[in-house]
Amino acid sequence: MTDGIWPALLGRFTWNALAFVRAWQNPTVNEIIGAGAAMMVVLGAASVITLITVTGKWGYLWREWLTSLDHKKIGVMYVVLAFVMLARALAEAVLMRMQQAAAVNAPGFVEPDHFAQLFSTHGSIMIFFMAMPFLTGIINYVTPLQIGARDVAFPLLNSISLWLTGGAAGLMMVSLVIGRFSTGGWTGYPPYTELAFSPDVGPDYWISAVTLGSIASTLSGLNFAVTIYKLRCPGMTLMRMPLFCWTTLCTSILMIFAMPPLTVATALLALDRYLGFHFFTNDLGGNMMNYANLFWLFGHPEVYILILPAFGAYSEVVSTFSSKELYGYTSLVLATMAIAVLSFTVWVHHFFAMGQSANLNAVFGIATMTIGVPTGVKIYDWIWTMFRGEVRFTVPMLYSLAFMMTFVLGGFTGILLAFPPLDYLVHNTLFLVAHFHNMLIPGLLYGMLAATHYWFPKAFGFRLNEKWGRIAFGCWVFGFYLAFMPLYVLGAGGAARRSQAFFEPAFRPWLYVAGVGALILLAALTALFVQLWVSIRERDANRVFAGDPWDGRGLEWSTSAPPPEYNYAVIPVVDGRDPFYDGKRDGDGYAVPAGYEDIAVPRNSMVGPATGILGAGLAFGLVWYIWWLAVLCLAGIVATVIARSFIRDVERIVPAADVARIEDRWHHAIAAARPISRHHETTPANQGLAEVTA
């Protein structure tokens, strides 16, 4: 009877699925490492829950954050999620580098199956649950402010997207504790993820997490595109939008059209595994190459989904910290659109080594080289923006400069890989790993870190500590070069990627250098957390409530720091590309309106948290064949949607008197603040009021 009840209640779960049990039964170094990682997840979650409970903050978090539909708070939560997942994925990267350095003609300390799980989780987390939440969070916070809007077009959908992403990231964390993860890489290629090759829960975890994340990103793309098309303030034509908004628009369009192929690919793979379909089984009527085409129809536009928002952030940072209007605005817009279009024409270069014809490879090789042209235009325009400008080497500017130099080096290697014969030789080596990281670390991570440092004072009302920001910057840049430049040499020498061990003694010194670089990158992340801690401790000395600590150019700097929940007491009217910058110099940058009106803002809603939690529960039930849980969670999602459809009171009113009180406090702070020159903007003298110069 027990044998019948247990599977009905817990599906294919057994005690051996727990990492702690496996380590108890087989106390090898490999299993102890796995149990240690699981323990960190459990203790981390327990510590957070305990801290919130002891401080009595559950009510505050629920009211002010978790159920909020304010785009600014949702953006902050996205970024917090991104940093949590970055910490895990970076720790896994360090562990892989340590294993490779220790495993030259030796077994090392991580077994091959565990190593395969590590590179699968590392890639999946970095792409889907670090990079995507990071850029989505920055877009969420900044874009409505830049276009003079009070929120995104669909605030509730925004919350649902956040919580679906959070639920998917939660599944990734749970996989550390219960079961094992996929060994099929971040791309999930069959046959490695088919049931015959991998009957355990790993690929199902990957399918569920990636599917939830891709649905969330598709919804975000729709939301951002409609927001930009429909909610721009009067006078803000498309060609007056900040470059960050242009990159957001193109990114949104890419999300709308690139994420569905991924969702289809994971859905078909799920049908293969759950219902015995054979979409990707070559000897049973399917075709594995269909998966490769579907995945990379998403995968290459995804590269530019990750990089375009960073390009927008660099445009804002370079212009602001050069005290100059952005050079070549129109060419930058055209280059952004060209990249977005061309990103759909190059996906085949991801499988040059899979047997296409020479003619087809030549076409996609040429297209791959072509996409480098608009990127070069951007670099050119940023350099000319800095030329003869008042360049200030703040932390965001340092990240921008490091990006330009490092990204160009990665672009050169990309041109090399665009030659199909050369790509055939190095495609499955560490050379490609070096190129991939050479593009994404400066192209995405540096950009998002620059954006975080740049807009952090706007979001929280105080500046980040400059000293620790520079320490972190130095570690990120120095660590990157040490960690990845040796991989070019190793790859050119034939070192295969995804390798748990090597047998060529000449590889050892290069692997040691790469290992040291990985440790320095871990130190960089640690420095960021120290910077945040120090900044919070010193926040009273670095307040910038007046709202304009960098002599900003766009509308987002024309409000207090942090902005009120309604963003703008009166929707602005603009007549140029740098409305706030020009307004300050014309004397009306902080004009007090004649009067205020009531403002409607979206009410909090528990639909987002309910959808995310139920979605994660549905996925967990499917992973472990706990069918009652899957059915219950699916019914809960349907019930939540139906219940929400009956709610009509979805907005609340901020009375005009409250608006006037909030705005008067801000204007009094402006009047009391001392204008600060750009040479002193990183000192405590900066209260958020920039000195206006000609």
pLDDT of 321 over the 60 cut: yes
Task: Write down the pLDDT at residue 408.
Answer: 93
Read off the pLDDT of each residue in 428-432 and give the average, rounded to a whole number: 95
User: Could you tell me the pLDDT band of residue 2, with boundaries at 50, 70 and 90?
Assistant: low
Preceding omega of 562 cis (within 30 degrees of 0): yes
- Quick one: which of 258, 302, 317 has its CA closest to 138? 317
Q: Per-residue pLDDT tens for 224-250?
A: 999 999 999 999 999 999 999 999 999
> Which element (helix H / strand E) includes 495?
none
The pLDDT mean for the chain works out to: 94
Task: Write down the pLDDT at residue 29.
Answer: 93
Q: Per-residue pLDDT tens for 431-460?
A: 999 999 999 999 999 999 999 999 999 999
Q: Per-residue pLDDT tens for 305-316?
A: 999 999 999 999
Q: Per-residue pLDDT tens for 180-223?
A: 999 999 999 999 999 999 999 999 999 999 999 999 999 999 99
pLDDT of 1 over the 50 cut: no
What is the reported pTM? 0.96
Task: Write down the pLDDT at residue 694.
Answer: 66
CA distances to 406, 616, 625 from 89, in Å: 22, 20, 28
HEC string for 498-545: CCCCECCHHHHHHHHHHHHHHHHHHHHHHHHHHHHHHHHHCHHHHECC
350 vs 488: which has the higher pLDDT? 488
> Of all residues in the chain, what percent carry a pLDDT higher than 90?
92
User: Could you tell me the pLDDT band of residue 8, with boundaries at 50, 70 and 90?
Assistant: confident
Kindly report which listed range (114-123, 357-366, 658-667) carries the lowest average pLDDT score: 357-366
Residue with tokens 């994971």: 266
Q: How many helices (H) and strands (E) does the chain have?
A: 24, 2
Kindly report which listed range (6-20, 530-544, 559-573) carries the lowest average pLDDT score: 6-20
Q: Per-residue pLDDT tens for 19-41?
A: 999 999 999 999 999 999 999 99
| Domains and their CATH numbers in the chain | 57-543 (1.20.210.10), 544-605+650-694 (no CATH)
Task: Write down the pLDDT at residue 589.
Answer: 84
Q: Per-residue pLDDT tens for 110-119?
A: 999 999 999 9
Residues in the chain: 694
Task: Write down the pLDDT at residue 283.
Answer: 82
| Cα-based angle 292, 261, 169 (whole degrees, multiple of 5) | 95
Burial label for 302, CB within 10 Å (0-12, 13-18, 19+), is buried
Rounded Cα gap, residues 150 and 654, in angstroms: 13
pLDDT of 684 over the 60 cut: yes
Task: Write down the pLDDT at residue 3.
Answer: 64
Task: Write down the pLDDT at residue 290.
Answer: 93
Q: Per-residue pLDDT tens for 113-138?
A: 999 999 999 999 999 999 999 999 99
pLDDT of 601 over the 50 cut: yes
pLDDT of 609 over the 90 cut: yes
- Quick one: which of 414, 450, 409 has its CA closest to 311? 450
Q: Where are the beta strands (DSSP E) in 507-666?
A: 599-602, 651-654
586 vs 470: which has the higher pLDDT? 470
Task: Write down the pLDDT at residue 562.
Answer: 95
pLDDT of 7 over the 50 cut: yes
